[in-house]
Structure 1
Amino acid sequence: MHPTTLSPGQERLLLWTLAAVQFTHIVDFMVMMPLGPQLTTLFHLSDAQFGTLVSAYSLAAGASGLIASVMIDRFDRLRALLVLYAGFTLATLACGLAPTFGTLMAARIAAGVFGGVLGALVQTIVGDVIPFERRGQAMGVVMSAFSISTVAGVPLSLWLASRWGWHMPFFSIAAVSAVLWLAVWRTVPGMSGHLAGQAGQGPWQRLRAVVAEPNHWRAFGLSSLMVLGSFSIIPYITIFTTTNVGLRQDQVPWIYLAGGVATLFTARLWGRLADRWGKVLMFRLLSLVAVLPMLALTHLGPVPMGVLLLVTTGFFVFVSGRMVPGMALLTAASVAELRGGFMSVNSALQSATMGVAAWIGGVLVSRSPSGQVLGYERCGWLALATTLIMVWWVGRLRVHTGPMSVTAPAPR
């Protein structure tokens, strides 16, 4: 592999462009949940039907990740990104144009098909372009998209929906994505170094190469552990805090606003520290500290609003914070020739683990006759157990530190 030919300025522009791509498909996924009241009334949906509508995106993303794993490494990264992002933009536009529940469901499935692979491809590009010693900070920039979508993207989308109807958030996301497609075309370099040595290899041979590598399975195990404990907690935060802690429904947005603002600043900090102190060490430290707010949150009783915000903000800062060095390590778990397929399989497995974790959380908790949530502390103990395993497991991962050769973007 040869070193990248991007200048520092081109590198920064690339990272913020990729973060913007992440922002659009994260907002597209997240905005469906708060639009529930409008959609269930408009289309006369049951709770089960709306739940299916929300989960369709994740299920489609997981399935497309598996399918993409057999072919994504056959294409230049830039061309793959342009095609996938164009498909995502059109699918999101179709969501806004959908006149019936059936057409909206089809559009959400299409958005999930493209959006799920987009996330894996963005992380693959970061792994290809950014040297390992600076990849923590780079991943912090890209993952700040999650914070920005929480702080600005979803609230703005809901404001648009309140003023002009539920269609408008999807029209807006599609319009922004169309502009960003042009930015991707102009700023993302061509990346074909991973194609070297692939002549004569069929798609199933590449998939076999991905799943036959023991280090990939160590990485898949780490990726699953990162979400298993936390996603048994996250889906039930609103229910638990409003029934057991005493939070009013109109105060719920403060939890996500405070958490989003805090992580917006800390994501890049964790990335810089990971590059300076070592990604494995930083991952272990953040994972162990994250146990404190996870246990505190799942054991809370009635407390003042300030105490609750302190706990939930700590939860978001450290639980999402460990993902920054964690994903930097995962992008280095595969050689460049297999990285796209590896990250696609990882994305699919991570989506499946999120669903399993949410189901486990639902099994662990129950309701009292008065409506109080019972057993939520069990989710905290599960998070502790998975964290302890994860802190040991990360030491078993082998990393590949060489960047892939790229071509600086020519004027287009």
Structure 2
Amino acid sequence: MPAFPGMQDQSPSTHRHATRALALLLAINLFNYIDRYILAAIEPLISDQFFGAKDETAMAKTGALATAFLVSYMILAPLFGWLADRFSRWQIIAFGVALWSLASGWSGMAATFTMLVLTRVFVGVGEAAYGPAAPTIISDLYPEEKRGRMLSYFYVAIPVGSAIGYAFGGAVGQHWGWRWPFYLVTFPGLVLAGLCVFMRDPRGVRARTDATHQKPKIKVADVLALYRIRSYTLNTAAMAAMTFAMGGMSFWVPRYLYTYRAADFGGHPDLGKINFTFGAITATAGLLATILGGWTGDRVRRRYPSAYFLVSAVTIFFAFPATVLMLYTPFPGAWVLVFLSIFFLFFNTGPANAALANVTPSGTRATAFALNILAIHIFGDAVSPPLIGWIAGKSNMNTAFLVVSGMMAVASVFWLFGARYLGRDTAAITASEAAT
């Protein structure tokens, strides 16, 4: 039985290589999100040490930690995407994973808040090297009719890694201090970086049949042509709106439960228990939604070429009312709405990223993913964490979450509008690739 469904039609050697590649990339992506959400889990502890409870601007300042990471991540992603379209993607990934792992350890050593901000910048540089390359390797290993499922397996690391980051960061931080979670993720990341050195790029396998053996030459016109693909542009806009809402709120959930909703937990909540509960719900809902979303998108696509966008639009629309109701429902009952909100948010992960791969030429696919990363973060969660902190400081966290969550409905509109172009754009790329 294959390690992941959908591989049974491959030759044994290709099957083994694809399995190893997907498993390693999944493990790396898991640690990627563990590292990101450790910071969110221990934000209250960092804020207390550097600013104290009386500083009204503390939340806006700690929200800037997320922005510092995202600014370097999104700005450098296009550069690494360009490199990934020309050189070994596994070597680039190895560099990125090693850099962000060392920077995570450095985060634990930060003596000042300014130094902590700088370490998060270097984490962003490392993830910028990894982000554009990883999904394009999977896209090269699997045909377009299976990419939704295969990318869903890869992206289950988002909810599961986030959940582990919340639970691990909260528990370790509560007992040993906020520095230790950063120390403990450094070594596993370096091990994963070392394993990347021994992997071969699937593009290299194809290159051996190419008599010219030339590296692809990417022109500015090729990059600009990506933005003339309407489904690519609208997909990116929808993902930016979703990232604005989900990225901003996910950073502040531990703080929201620990302080603003403290009365629901008896007035003296345990940060470790709150993070563990939220992490368990995130892992369960996100895992189910990500796998089911990829399967549903591939299944419905057999009849409707626009299925990836239709599935994404419908499910994220339901996430909006679930989130709003959660804000005004007492805990523990509100945990049910937290589950539903996370489930509907993660349902689109596989379909949206598969659509991104299917409408872009293979020669510029890493660049396409990199530009997508730039756009969704510059207009998404680079803005929303400090915005939530600012609104909460002026009003309250319920108001901040309510304002930001409205972008879920905006994402739904973009995907619905893009559905009219997705089938046509996918067919155009398939025909172009077949002709060459």
Give TM-score scaled by structure 1 length: 0.82
Deviation of the 1:139 alpha carbon? 0.9
Q: Distance in 2 between matches of 1:402 and 1:97?
A: 53
Q: Which residue of 2 aligns with 1:71?
A: 83
The amino acid of 1:93's aligned partner reads G
Once the two structures are superposed, residues 167-212 of structure 1 have per-residue CA deviations (whole angstroms, 9 ceiling, x without a partner) of 322222211112212332345545335897895987xx53442123
Residues 190 and 84 of structure 1: CA distance in aligned 2, closer, same or farther (over 3 Å): farther
The unaligned stretches of length 5 or more in structure 1 are 405-412
Q: Distance in 2 between matches of 1:98 and 1:349?
A: 30
Indicate yes or no: 2:367 matched with 1:341. yes
Q: What's the RMSD between the two structures over aligned residues?
A: 3.7
Q: Which residue of 1 aligns with 2:64?
A: 52
Which of 210, 223, 234 aligns to 2:236? It is 223
Q: Distance in 2 between matches of 1:326 and 1:276?
A: 14
Deviation of the 1:71 alpha carbon? 3.0
* Mapping of residues 329-408 of structure 1, within 5 Å: 329-355=355-381, 358=384, 362=388, 371=396, 373-374=398-399, 382-397=407-422, 398-399=425-426, 400-401=429-430
- 302-311 or 116-125: which moved more? 302-311
Residues 359 and 329 of structure 1: CA distance in aligned 2, closer, same or farther (over 3 Å): same
Contact 2:26-2:155 within 8 A present in 1 as well: yes
Deviation of the 1:337 alpha carbon? 1.1
The amino acid of 1:392's aligned partner reads F
Q: Distance in 2 between matches of 1:230 and 1:142?
A: 18
The amino acid of 2:411's aligned partner reads T
- 169-178 or 219-228: which moved more? 219-228
Indicate yes or no: 2:171 matched with 1:159. yes
Once the two structures are superposed, residues 224-276 of structure 1 have per-residue CA deviations (whole angstroms, 9 ceiling, x without a partner) of 21341563366357477775897445575334421321222332222223222
Indicate yes or no: 2:39 matched with 1:32. yes
Identity %: 16
Q: Which residue of 1 aligns with 2:126?
A: 114
The unaligned stretches of length 5 or more in structure 2 are 1-9
Q: Which residue of 2 aligns with 1:276?
A: 299
Residues 255 and 102 of structure 1: CA distance in aligned 2, closer, same or farther (over 3 Å): closer
Deviation of the 1:313 alpha carbon? 1.1
Q: Which residue of 2 aligns with 1:410?
A: none
- SS across alignment from 2:197: helix
Q: Distance in 1 between matches of 2:349 and 2:44?
A: 32
Which of 205, 209, 218 aligns to 2:222? It is 209
Q: Which residue of 2 aligns with 1:408?
A: none
Residues 403 and 313 of structure 1: CA distance in aligned 2, closer, same or farther (over 3 Å): farther
The amino acid of 2:416's aligned partner reads V
Q: Distance in 2 between matches of 1:359 and 1:181?
A: 30
Contact 1:232-1:360 within 8 A present in 2 as well: no
- 330-339 or 155-164: which moved more? 155-164
- SS across alignment from 2:352: helix
Residues 403 and 200 of structure 1: CA distance in aligned 2, closer, same or farther (over 3 Å): closer
Indicate yes or no: 2:275 matched with 1:263. no
- 307-316 or 335-344: which moved more? 307-316
Contact 2:78-2:370 within 8 A present in 1 as well: yes
Which of 331, 335, 340 aligns to 1:314? It is 340
- 354-363 or 185-194: which moved more? 354-363
Residues 81 and 133 of structure 1: CA distance in aligned 2, closer, same or farther (over 3 Å): same
Higher relative contact order (CA 8 A, sep 6+): 1
Q: Distance in 2 between matches of 1:12 and 1:402?
A: 28
Residues 94 and 157 of structure 1: CA distance in aligned 2, closer, same or farther (over 3 Å): same
Contact 2:96-2:126 within 8 A present in 1 as well: yes
Give TM-score scaled by structure 2 length: 0.78
Indicate yes or no: 2:24 matched with 1:17. yes
Aligned length: 399
Which of 93, 98, 112 aligns to 1:86? It is 98
Q: Distance in 2 between matches of 1:331 and 1:33?
A: 30
Contact 1:226-1:323 within 8 A present in 2 as well: no
